[in-house]
Amino acid sequence: MDVVILGAGIAGLACADQLRAAGHRVTLFDKGRGPGGRMSTRRVEIDGQTLQFDHGAQYFTVRDDRFRRQVQDWQAHGVASPWHEAGPDAWVGTPAMNAPVRHMASAHRVHFGHHVVGLTRNAQGWHVRLQEQQHGPFDAAIIALPAEQAAAILGTHDLMMAADAMAARSQPCWTAMMAFEDRVPIAADSIRHQGIIGWAARDGAKPGRNDGETWVVQAHASWSASHLENSADAVAQALLDALLAHAEDKVPAVRYLAAHRWRFAMTPGIDKGALWNGSLRLGACGDWLQGPRVELAWLSGHRLGTMIDAAAAAA
């Protein structure tokens, strides 16, 4: 089949990998400027130096054997390494968190910077409508987007799928990115669940990094929700103050400070794995169907790709 996937994050690309391995043709569209999704890496230029911040997912865990084999392949290609600071089964992308997604995307036809405004279906198949053009027809369409975005598209084609997406509402997360002139006098490389901090990490201490003293500080979900419409500058300062409250001595000067608002950061999942409507040839995958971990997003896409190939073989 000729399949289109909306969303080139970890779930969409895992689905694409399964389909391509089975001999299907896959095209992906993503509104982002490059690979990563919520495993994105922000890069900034400061005084002629490029700094990077893993401002989305901080790490991922490996528990399922299928995902373990995938991660071992990433490690063999130099795009993932263990990071024991976050736990015995924790890994990060190297040299940046988006490296595994970038590696996966390189094997596919992915159109980045394309904002999909509609998905329609006629006798010829599925058509993707962008702001200025249209692509299609495709034999099948996959929605690999956060639940809130997926619901808007699914609602015009499959109300039961849309209802599932609406039931899996995401929690927001404010994230601050910080760089300092010297090491911040905090002994540990990570802080969890302290005050307004949900998670903070000395980003430059992760494997494969060489950025000096950089930190990523993420507010916990309830604080993020109650301050969702605050200015980025005010949030960045609040999270900086929260981090430096843990400093054991005089703190160095701040080189860089910015905040990013993730409106759809984490979902509890609805334990359905993946969705597939064989009569419409319409599917959905993502962490909102499985659970709030990178591994579960990958497993959702992997599962959907297997389901679609099995349905095609039986047709």
Asked if residues 22 and 52 have their Cβ atoms less than 8 Å apart, the reply is: no
The residue with greater pLDDT, 263 or 239, is 239
143-156 per-position pLDDT tens digit: 999 999 999 999 99
Mean pLDDT throughout 276-300?
95
177-193 per-position pLDDT tens digit: 999 999 999 999 999 99
Rounded Cα distance between 42 and 2, Å, is 33
- From the list 261, 294, 286, 308, the residue with the least C-alpha distance to 153 is 286
Tell me, letter by letter, the H, E, C secondary structure of the chain.
CEEEEECCCHHHHHHHHHHHHCCCEEEEEECCCCCCHHHCCEEEEECCEEEEECCCCCCEECCCHHHHHHHHHHHHCCCEEECHHHCCCEEEECCCCCHHHHHHHCCCEEEECCCEEEEEEECCEEEEEECCCEEEEECEEEECCCHHHHHHHHCCCCHHHHHHHHHCCCEEEEEEEEEECCCCCCCCCEEEEECCEEEEEEHHHCCCCCCCEEEEEEECHHHHHHCCCCCHHHHHHHHHHHHHCCCCCCCCCEEEEEEEEEEEEECCCCCCCCEEECCCCEEECCHHHCCCCHHHHHHHHHHHHHHHHHHHHHC
The mean predicted confidence, pLDDT, of the chain is 94
Q: Considering the chain, what percentage of its residues have pLDDT values greater than 70? A: 100
Asked if residues 37 and 294 have their Cβ atoms less than 8 Å apart, the reply is: no
Rounded Cα distance between 305 and 298, Å, is 11
Six token digits for residue 12: 């969409």
- Residue 77 scores a pLDDT above 90: yes
Q: What's the pLDDT at 108?
A: 96
The amino acid at 163: A
Supply the Cα-derived Rg of the chain in whole angstroms.
20
Q: What's the pLDDT at 268?
A: 83
Mean pLDDT throughout 288-306?
95
